[in-house]
Amino acid sequence: MHTRDGGFHVKLGLLELSRPYFGAKVNGNFAENPNRFGLPTIQGVLILCDAEKGSPLAVMDSRDITLLRTGAATAVAAKYLARQDSRTATICGCGKQGRIQVKALSRVCRLQSVFAYDKIEEQSQHFARELTEDLGIPVTSVTDLAAAVRQSDICVTCTPSREPFLDSDDIAPGTFIAAVGADSPEKQELQPLLMAKSKIVADILQQCSVMGDLHYALDAGVLTLADVYGELGDVVAGNKPGRESDEEIIVFDSTGMALQDVAAAALLYEKAERQGTGIRVSFAA
């Protein structure tokens, strides 16, 4: 649901782990919050329930869960879709999500250098200094995004952009692109022709077709749903191969899966139960 300056979305999921869980995440996404109010862009709550009894189990802040599970999804995608010799990455968007993306990628790729780009150069410079120290590899703030991406094996876009800023001419053969920012129908980061020239792997195909960069390519008529290679789950499960050559450009269209939220919430809940942490609350009168 949209408001004047942002919007709210709800993600729901059922997942069978050590017990059946239901999760519902309500997130507000307001891109101007940091500048206008000094507040985070994303705020919300995640409610975890017992899916066998219907009992509420936990209420959690959803911001960090969203940040971490989004970065983790990129890392899983990179494991299967990036070239094994990938050493250089460009991060477009130097906020909290950008930081998580770099740290997640460093778990699965032996990164040797990172380029950092943001419309606010001061932000990318701060990002570069912080991540250079944290990761022990050179992270360089850049102002020429296209030049940086052409030198990169991996590119992550995690911005609130409503206009595409990456085109096919900016991408070298063999690049893996994680398109993370377009998590609502109004957002867009990749030109439709770039999508058309790439192997596309969606997190959820149906969802990407209406709110990811994919939906702009579909609307432009440069590809159809039949042209999409598949979902990341198909690749991880071994039903489809991931990267098939060092030359292909692969786009992971990441719009965010409810099951990721439920899995992360269940993990945290079970850990809190074991450690006896958290605040006990009774909603009964």
**Confidence check: pLDDT of 139 > 70:** yes
Spatial separation of the C-alpha atoms in residues 170 and 149, rounded to whole Å? 7
pLDDT at residue 34 in the model: 86
Task: Decide if 165 is inside a domain.
Answer: yes
Task: Decide if 99 is inside a domain.
Answer: yes
Q: Which helix (H) or strand (E) holds 133?
A: helix 121-135
Instruction: For residues 183 and 104, state if they share a domain.
Output: yes
**Confidence check: pLDDT of 108 > 80:** yes
Instruction: For residues 21 and 38, state if they share a domain.
Output: yes
Instruction: For residues 215 and 244, state if they share a domain.
Output: yes
Q: What is the mean pLDDT of residues 258-273?
A: 95
Task: Decide if 151 is inside a domain.
Answer: yes
Among 1-10, 14-23, 69-78, 242-251, whose mean pLDDT is lowest?
Answer: 1-10
Task: Decide if 129 is inside a domain.
Answer: yes
pLDDT at residue 214 in the model: 97
Q: What is the mean pLDDT of residues 18-29?
A: 95
Tokens 């991996």 identify what position? 154
Instruction: For residues 57 and 130, state if they share a domain.
Output: no
Instruction: For residues 107 and 216, state if they share a domain.
Output: yes
**Confidence check: pLDDT of 158 > 70:** yes
Query: Could you write out the DSSP letters of every residue in 68-128?
Result: HHHHHHHHHHHHHHS-TT--EEEEE--SHHHHHHHHHHHHHS---EEEEE-SSHHHHHHHH
Q: Is 187 a catalytic residue?
A: no
Task: Decide if 234 is inside a domain.
Answer: yes
**Confidence check: pLDDT of 285 > 70:** no
Instruction: For residues 112 and 47, state if they share a domain.
Output: no
Is the pTM higher than 0.85? The answer reads yes
Q: Structurally, how many domains does the chain consist of?
A: 2
Task: Decide if 205 is inside a domain.
Answer: yes
Instruction: For residues 90 and 229, state if they share a domain.
Output: yes
CB-based burial label for 65 (10 Å; 0-12, 13-18, 19+):
buried
**Confidence check: pLDDT of 224 > 70:** yes
Residues 48 and 269: beta-carbon distance below 8 Å? yes
Q: Tell me how crowded residue 214 is: count the other CB atoms within 10 A of its CB.
A: 27
- The CATH number assigned to the domain holding 264 equals 3.30.1780.10
Task: Decide if 84 is inside a domain.
Answer: yes
- The CATH number assigned to the domain holding 149 equals 3.40.50.720
Instruction: For residues 29 and 100, state if they share a domain.
Output: no
In sequence order, the 6+-apart residues with CB closer than 8 A to the CB of 198 are 171, 177, 248, 249, 250, 251
Contacts 24+ apart (CB under 8 A), 124-130: 124/94, 126/94, 127/91, 127/94, 127/98, 127/99, 130/99
**Confidence check: pLDDT of 235 > 70:** yes
Q: Which pLDDT band holds residue 35 (cuts at 50, 70, 90)? A: confident
Range of the domain at 56: 7-61+259-275
Instruction: For residues 27 and 151, state if they share a domain.
Output: no
Instruction: For residues 172 and 205, state if they share a domain.
Output: yes
Instruction: For residues 25 and 156, state if they share a domain.
Output: no
- Which position among 11, 25, 96, 199 bears the catalytic label? 25
Instruction: For residues 26 and 151, state if they share a domain.
Output: no
Tokens 């993370």 identify what position? 180
Task: Decide if 91 is inside a domain.
Answer: yes
Report which DSSP code applies to 203. S
